[in-house]
Amino acid sequence: MHSFTFMFLILVAVDVDGLTRTEISRATFLKMSGGVLIPLKPVLIPLKPANAIDFTPIDKLTPGSKVDALDRLNMYRTELCVLCRDFDFIKKGGGDEIRRWVGTVNTQHLYGVNPTLKYLQGEATDIVTYTESMDEFRSLLTSADTAAYSSLFVEFSAAKGTADEYLNIAKGDLIAAQRELDIMFKELELDTPRRSCL
């Protein structure tokens, strides 16, 4: 059996002359209004904590020009290179530190790489190869983020494995993402370093 709590709505009404104010119950109000209720649209005011990170909306991350996009792409490649090369040191900060580098926890490192890749898609010599690598790159970044996130909770869940095992999965995904990024560099006819950063 359901129990219902009835609340009485107390409203302030102004009489016809506008001189006196009276309090009325919800039932009286409904009788006065003919039983018609007009739903009001709620107004949501987002509250921002003092320590909140300002994320740039994804539509603002689209490069303004090809030169800007290429500069960003080189920066993203450097960031990913450093992440892969120094992964064993960076992972000491835990899964959240890896996620910061992947760009899902803050607005640094690889945050915004996808709009840049999409912007440059039309510049590729072989758009099919570029698009396949771009999709695989996105998938690998998401997989690395998921593994890093899972490493935060594996010790307290029924899942098998350790945090270190999940972080190593993330490392493998990031190394594979680096290879896909190199393919996209080739399709954009950009120079890649002769020595791998891995």
Per-residue pLDDT reduced to its tens digit, 148-176: 999 998 888 777 889 999 999 999 999 99
Nearest of 190, 191, 171 to residue 80 by alpha carbon: 171
SS (HEC) of the chain: CCCCCCCCCCEEEECCCCCCEEEECHHHHHHHHCCCCCCCCCCCCCCCCCCCCCCCCHHHHCCCCHHHHHHHHHHHHHHHHHHHHCHHHHHHHCHHHHHHHHCCCCCCCCCCHHHHHHHCHHHCCCHHHHHHHHHHHHHHHHHHHHHHHHHCCHHHCCCCCCHHHHHHHHHHHHHHHHHHHHHHHHHCCCCCCCCCCC
Look at residue 33 in the predicted model and tell me its pLDDT: 60
Length, in residues, of the chain? 198
For residues 56 and 112, the answer to whether their CB atoms sit within 8 Å is: yes
How confident is the model at residue 25, as a pLDDT?
A: 62
Percent of the chain's residues with pLDDT above 90: 30
In angstroms, how far apart are the furthest CA atoms of the chain? 88
Phi, psi of 77 (to 5 degrees): -65, -40
- The answer on pLDDT for 137 being more than 90 is yes
User: Which pLDDT score, from 0 to 100, does residue 76 have?
Assistant: 85
Q: For 117-129, what is the mean pLDDT? A: 91
The per-residue pLDDT for 197 is 61
Res 190 pLDDT > 90: no
Q: Please give the mean pLDDT across all residues of the chain.
A: 75
Averaged pLDDT, 116-127: 90
Compute the distance between CA of residue 98 and CA of residue 145 in angstroms, rounded to an integer.
8
Maximum mean pLDDT: which of 18-32, 102-116, 153-167, 176-190: 176-190
Q: How many CA atoms lie within 13 A of 54 on its CB side?
A: 3
**% the chain with pLDDT above 70:** 63
Give residue 162's region: left, alpha or beta (phi > 0; psi -120 to 50).
beta
Work out the number of other CB atoms within 10 angstroms of the CB of residue 146: 17
Q: What is the mean pLDDT of residues 66-90?
A: 87
Domain coordinates in residue numbering, the chain: 58-187
